[in-house]
Amino acid sequence: MSKIVDFMEERLPLTELAAFAKKKTVPLHRYAFWYYWGGISLLCFIVQVFTGILLLVYFKPGPDAYDSVRQITYDIHFGWLIRSAHAWSATLFLLSAFIHMFSVYFMKGYRKPRELGWWSGITLLLLGLLFGFSGYLLPMDELSFFATRVGLAIPDAIPVVGHAISNILRGGLEVSEITVQRFFALHVVVLPLLYLPIIGFHLYLVQLHGNALPPSEEEKPAIDRKSIAFFPNFVIKDLGMWLITLNVIALLASLFPQQLGKVADPLASAPAGIHPEWYFMSQFSTLKIVGKLIPGGLGEAAGITLFIVGLLLWILIPFYDVKKKGGLIAKRATYFGIFVVVVMLVTTILGYTAI
């Protein structure tokens, strides 16, 4: 055993890594709880990779998609569990990524030198939403069929290039097995290829700059700040969080297994009360509200413009809220964050009550 360790030590910077892990600390303060959420979303992503690979064993993209998911859900031993774990872990993945993003925002974790972490994180969340959107179609049941139809109608509203974009995504003028095939390629090859290097970069940045301190902690003199060792203290707590998350996924998947609706029928009318997954509900209901205020295609264009402007402001916040003692600007950034959270929550609730 020690021979193997020696062999590796001569060839890899293990001693330096061990020294780094020993020296690294994680701040401890009243908001430290929020530091765990990035790790929780990472665990959910890992669960997605494993359950996704398992689903790949039996899933057939294209015309057999629905039947293969039916087999996974009802015929294959524990197929229902693996599929449900994949679906629930997707929800928890996006939920924890959202919580992580908002906690970073309110702790002002996007300020110099952590701007790249902020941008790579937003990219990961947007890719995560695309993962959700593309994966939702794959069972090809009634709900996924209509959700994808509605979802792809949104880029249609973009002037000039909109039609081309949604036609390319759909692979035709209607959602069909061709769409399933390309969404499958997107979901299991293209998005993971993009996601993995960015997540590596994101994690590298966390190690490089360490955890951001919230302004209330930064004001304190260094001697008054508390911290715990990264290894083993924080790692053990982090693993504890992972264990809790894994148990939550297992419980949700066992108690509320994912259902499979009727097979998608292009001639059937949309089922009553059709709505997107919760992570698209806010946008869905905002579009509805804007559409009521400004009827016709203009309303849709206005809604989409609103999202793009909001997202741009969100991305560019590190350029606005720069200074450590930001005063009014820092306060405004916080108010903007609160505004965004309130709007997202209210529109989501409105979306669900309208069903």
Partner 1 sequence: MSESVNPEIQIESSDDDGVSRRQFVKVAVGGMCLAYLGAVGYPIYRYLESPVEKSETLAAIKNVDLNDAQKLPVGSVMMFKFGPYPALLIHHDNGDWSAFNAVCTHLGCTVQYHKDQDKIMCACHGGQYDPRTGQNIAGPPPKPLEKFAVKVNAASLTVSRA
Among 74-82, 88-96, 278-286, 306-314, which window interacts with partner 1 (CB under 8 A)? 74-82
Among 20-28, 78-86, 171-179, 208-216, which window interacts with partner 1 (CB under 8 A)? 78-86
- Which two tokens mark 65? 């998609």
Q: Does 27 bind partner 1 (CB under 8 A)?
A: no
Q: Does 79 bind partner 1 (CB under 8 A)?
A: yes
Q: Report the alpha-carbon distance of residue 66 to residue 97 in Å, rounded.
A: 30
Kindly tell me which of 3 and 77 has the beta carbon lying closer to partner 1. Answer: 77
In contact, 93 and 278? CB cutoff 8 Å: no
- Which two tokens mark 177? 């097995």
Kindly tell me which of 54 and 143 has the beta carbon lying closer to partner 1. Answer: 54
Kindly tell me which of 55 and 186 has the beta carbon lying closer to partner 1. Answer: 55
Considering the complex, what minimum distance in angstroms separates the CB of residue 48 from partner 1?
A: 15
Given candidates 40, 54, 137, 290, which one binds partner 1 under the rule CB under 8 A? 54
Considering the complex, what minimum distance in angstroms separates the CB of residue 82 from partner 1?
A: 6
Kindly tell me which of 81 and 228 has the beta carbon lying closer to partner 1. Answer: 81
Q: Report the alpha-carbon distance of residue 183 to residue 176 in Å, rounded.
A: 11
Given candidates 82, 140, 143, 186, which one binds partner 1 under the rule CB under 8 A? 82
Given candidates 12, 19, 56, 57, which one binds partner 1 under the rule CB under 8 A? 57
Q: Report the alpha-carbon distance of residue 302 to residue 310 in Å, rounded.
A: 12
Q: Does 52 bind partner 1 (CB under 8 A)?
A: no
Q: Does 76 bind partner 1 (CB under 8 A)?
A: yes
Q: Which residues contact 183 (CB under 8 A, 6 or more apart)?
A: 134, 135, 137, 138, 148
Looking at the DSSP bridge assignments, the partners of residue 229 are 25
Residues 249-288 touching partner 1, rule: CB under 8 A, are 250
User: Exposed (0-12), middle (13-18) or buried (19+): which is 212, by Cβ within 10 Å?
Assistant: buried
- Which two tokens mark 127? 């890719």
CA distances 290 to 285, 293, 294, 302, 304, Å, are 9, 5, 6, 7, 10
Question: Interface residues with partner 1 (CB under 8 A)?
Answer: 54, 57, 75-79, 81-82, 250
